[in-house]
């Protein structure tokens, strides 16, 4: 079974990326940057369905680089806001603010490079020459991502290192954006997984932001303890949503995995 719905979605995502790209050329706007990043994630979730031929592998790599260029400004914005909330007046807040402004300027320079327009045009041309994506391809990709997420979810522990929690978050994001982008071609039972994925991604995002904040250092013992306390609370909130996600995936987590 093939569907043109996914092909239409690819074109729609390119159009959304183009709109946000042009908005950001004029000035930095947090909402437009957020919308650009969401559209990029959705596009990159669908691209693996086109297969592993060199032209598609090259296109995926180019979109990966484009998406990566948006990470630093977002991360610095979040770190600045989070630190200002946890430790008002800390000297690192001002330095993070300056670094965020420099990262925003660099992003605008990156967005103004010919590569973005070339990438959009090359993608449109390649999509026009490709056939419709089959529902079977979408379901196979979903099954692969669900299996990988289930393995990582079953292995996670409250004392797992930050890198392992981050890897779990990436697994969740890959599956979440595949379901989002492919929603028109998926049965309702599969889409029921979306809300648990979104809740887990949100909680894990909070945990990841605090882990990144701790890596910055430059804290007194009291300041570090305050951030650690916020991280412990964020970890508890992550753990509280894991059973719902595991149930949606058809898994059972052992009680020891859910106690902090």
Tell me the per-residue pLDDT of 170-213, one tens digit each, with 9 for 90 and over: 999 999 999 999 998 888 888 899 999 999 999 999 999 999 99
- State the pLDDT confidence band at 255, using cuts at 50, 70 and 90: very low
CA-closest candidate to residue 177, choices 192, 152, 194, 189:
194
Mean pLDDT, residues 215-243: 94
Taking 80 as the threshold, does the pLDDT of residue 253 lie above it?
A: no
DSSP run (H or E) holding 91: helix 91-111
Chain-centre distance for alpha carbon 102: 23
CA distance 147 to 51: 19
Neighbouring-strand partners of residue 2: 134
Question: Alpha-carbon torsion 258, 234, 69, 24, what sign?
Answer: positive
Mean pLDDT score, 2-17:
87
Task: Answer whether residue 80 shows pLDDT above 80.
Answer: yes
> C-alpha distances in angstroms, 113 versus 12, 60, 109, 116, 166?
23, 19, 7, 6, 31
Q: What is the pLDDT of residue 1?
A: 45
Percent of the chain with pLDDT over 70: 96
Percent of the chain with pLDDT over 90: 82
Residues 6+ apart with CB under 8 A from 131: 2
Q: How far is CA 189 from CA 39, 107, 150, 203, in A?
A: 24, 39, 17, 24
CA-wise closest residue to 46 among 129, 141, 118, 128:
141
**What does the DSSP 8-state code read for residue 132?**
P
Phi first, then psi: what are they for 3, rounded to 5°?
-140, 135
The pLDDT, as a whole number, for residue 114 is 95
Residue 217 phi, psi (nearest 5)? 70, -155
93 has a pLDDT exceeding 60: yes
Tens of pLDDT, residue by residue over 104-161, are 999 999 999 999 999 999 999 999 998 778 888 999 999 999 999 999 999 999 999 9
β-partners of residue 133 are 3
pLDDT in tens, 168-180: 999 999 999 999 9
Q: Is the pLDDT of residue 2 over 80?
A: no
pLDDT at 35: 95
What is the token pair recorded at 164?
């392992």
Q: Which of 5, 1, 249, 10 is nearest to 143 (CA)?
A: 249
Lowest mean pLDDT among 119-123, 215-219, 228-232: 215-219
What residues pair up with 62 in beta bridges, in sequence order?
none
Question: What local confidence, expressed as pLDDT, does residue 131 receive?
Answer: 79
**pLDDT (0 to 100) of residue 256:** 42
Inter-residue contact 242 to 154 (CB < 8 Å): no
Residue with tokens 């993608």: 123
Kindly report the average pLDDT of the chain as a whole number.
92
Of 256 and 206, more confident: 206
């Amino acid at each position: 079974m093939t569907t043109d719905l996914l092909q239409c979605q690819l074109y729609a995502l390119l159009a959304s990326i183009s709109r946000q790209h042009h908005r950001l050329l004029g000035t930095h706007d947090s909402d437009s940057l957020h919308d650009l990043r969401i559209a990029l994630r959705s596009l990159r979730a669908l691209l693996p369905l086109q297969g592993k031929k060199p032209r598609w592998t090259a296109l995926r790599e180019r979109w990966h680089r484009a998406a990566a260029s948006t990470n630093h400004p977002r991360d610095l914005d979040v770190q600045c806001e989070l630190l200002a909330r946890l430790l008002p007046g800390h000297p690192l807040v001002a330095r993070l603010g300056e670094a965020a402004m420099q990262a925003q300027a660099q992003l605008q320079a990156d967005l103004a490079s010919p590569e973005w327009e070339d990438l959009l045009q090359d993608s449109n041309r390649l999509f026009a020459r490709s056939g419709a994506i089959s529902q079977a391809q979408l379901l196979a990709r979903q099954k692969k991502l669900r299996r990988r997420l289930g393995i990582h979810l079953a292995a996670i522990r409250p004392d797992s290192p930050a890198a392992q929690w981050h890897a779990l978050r990436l697994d969740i994001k890959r599956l979440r954006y595949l379901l989002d982008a492919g929603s028109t071609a998926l049965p309702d039972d599969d889409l029921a997984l979306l809300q648990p994925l979104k809740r887990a991604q949100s909680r894990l995002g909070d945990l990841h932001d605090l882990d990144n904040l701790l890596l910055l250092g430059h804290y007194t013992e009291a300041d570090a303890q305050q951030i650690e306390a916020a991280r412990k609370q964020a970890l508890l909130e992550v753990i509280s949503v894991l059973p719902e996600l595991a149930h949606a995936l058809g898994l059972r987590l052992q009680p020891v995995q859910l106690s902090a």
